[in-house]
Amino acid sequence: MAQDKNISPLAWGLLALLGLIWGGSFLSIRIALDEVGVFTSVAHRTGWAMLILWGYVLLRGLPVPKDPRIWFGFLVMGLLNNAIPFSLMAWGQLTIETGLTSILNASTAIFGVLLAACFFADESLSVRKGIGVLLGFFGVATAIGLEHLLALDIRSLAQLAIIAGTISYSFAGVWARKRLTGLAPEVAAAGMLTGSTLIMVPMAWILEGPITLALQPITWLAIGYYVVIATALAYLLYYRILAIAGSGNLMLVTLLVPPVAILLGALVLGETLHTRAYVGFAILALGLIILDGRAVDAWRRGK
């Protein structure tokens, strides 16, 4: 996991902005689901964002790949990083709170480290990383509640769907490193969204009927937010932070998203979370901090 130990004020500002943006995405998705189906909401998200990013690519004059193997890579990436996790998480949000969804979503980094260790020789699981991963798993289990896992009711299934979505995100990271290196980030994001749109539009049409544009203003406002701000702009912001701060520092955004989502869920939707959700997030956050490594290094230097 590449990491620059020093984070500039600009990088901190962009990280905070990305945390705010992604924290608000959970609320906007839940609002849109009041009028549109799960697959339709995802089709809107990928389709409109795809058009925006391809427009950006063309304005920048970036080269568009012509190799069919790259386009196949985009299709698989769109499936793993958009179609599967967006759909699973949207379905899960029909049952569980937006704040809890954001907490479980933060486990993406935990699964990412574990899968990287399985697939890449240079990402071995050190003792420190192993402790971070174990704490992350314990935090997720605490947030869900073991009694809910054993019950296998609709709420536990919704939470497991969110976790499955985070695992799909992690597999997407492996796929991107193996098959999509060397591309401009904007082109990779646009290509990925093209792949997911080719999957989601037919799926939404078949399972939920024709995609209509006759929606309530509040629904369009929600869709507009998670398309323009939380997807298209967020991807550009994500790659900007990656370039100036490194992937290790970028992982810190996972700690900033849940507090925003929890606050918005409480203020707008009147959500309240069980105490175990906060305890689970605290344990998960500790696991992420250990994975990051800087706090451990500072503690060692201070001994």
When pLDDT is cut at 50, 70 and 90, the band that residue 153 belongs to is confident
Residue 3 lies in a domain: no
Residue 193 lies in a domain: yes
- Per-residue pLDDT tens for 243-267? 887 777 777 888 899 999 999 999 9
> So what's the pLDDT on residue 299?
62
In 3D space, the residue among 165, 171, 115, 175 whose CA is nearest the CA of residue 140 turns out to be 165
Place of tokens 């989502």: 261
**Over 80: is that where the pLDDT of 164 sits?**
yes
> So what's the pLDDT on residue 295?
61
pTM for the predicted model, two decimal places:
0.90
> So what's the pLDDT on residue 1?
41
Residue 90 lies in a domain: yes
Distance between CA atoms of residues 264 and 261, nearest Å: 5
> So what's the pLDDT on residue 60?
95
* Averaged pLDDT for residues 32-53: 97
When pLDDT is cut at 50, 70 and 90, the band that residue 124 belongs to is confident
Provide long-range contacts, Cβ within 8 A and 24+ apart, for 267-276: 268/27, 269/27, 269/30, 269/97, 269/98, 271/97, 271/98, 271/99, 272/97, 273/97, 273/99, 273/100, 274/145, 276/142, 276/143, 276/145
* Averaged pLDDT for residues 153-160: 91
Domain range spanning residue 51? 9-302
**Over 90: is that where the pLDDT of 288 sits?**
no
Q: Is the dihedral of CA 140, 145, 150, 154 positive or negative?
A: negative
- Per-residue pLDDT tens for 172-224? 989 998 888 889 999 999 999 999 999 999 999 999 999 999 999 999 999 99
Distance between CA atoms of residues 156 and 290, nearest Å: 28
When pLDDT is cut at 50, 70 and 90, the band that residue 71 belongs to is very high
Residue 247 lies in a domain: yes
The count of other CB atoms within 10 Å of the CB of residue 298 is: 9
> So what's the pLDDT on residue 20?
95
Q: CB within 8 A of 49, min separation 6: which ones?
A: 193, 227, 228, 231, 232, 235
Report residue 20 CA to chain centroid gap.
Answer: 13
Residue 1 lies in a domain: no
Residue 153 lies in a domain: yes
Residue 184 lies in a domain: yes
Residue 163 lies in a domain: yes
> So what's the pLDDT on residue 2?
43
**Over 50: is that where the pLDDT of 235 sits?**
yes
**Over 50: is that where the pLDDT of 157 sits?**
yes
* Averaged pLDDT for residues 49-78: 96
Distance between CA atoms of residues 187 and 239, nearest Å: 11
How many domains does one find in the chain? 1
First to last CA, the chain: 26
CB-neighbour burial class of residue 244 (10 A; exposed 0-12, middle 13-18, buried 19+): middle
For residue 106, give the DSSP letter. T
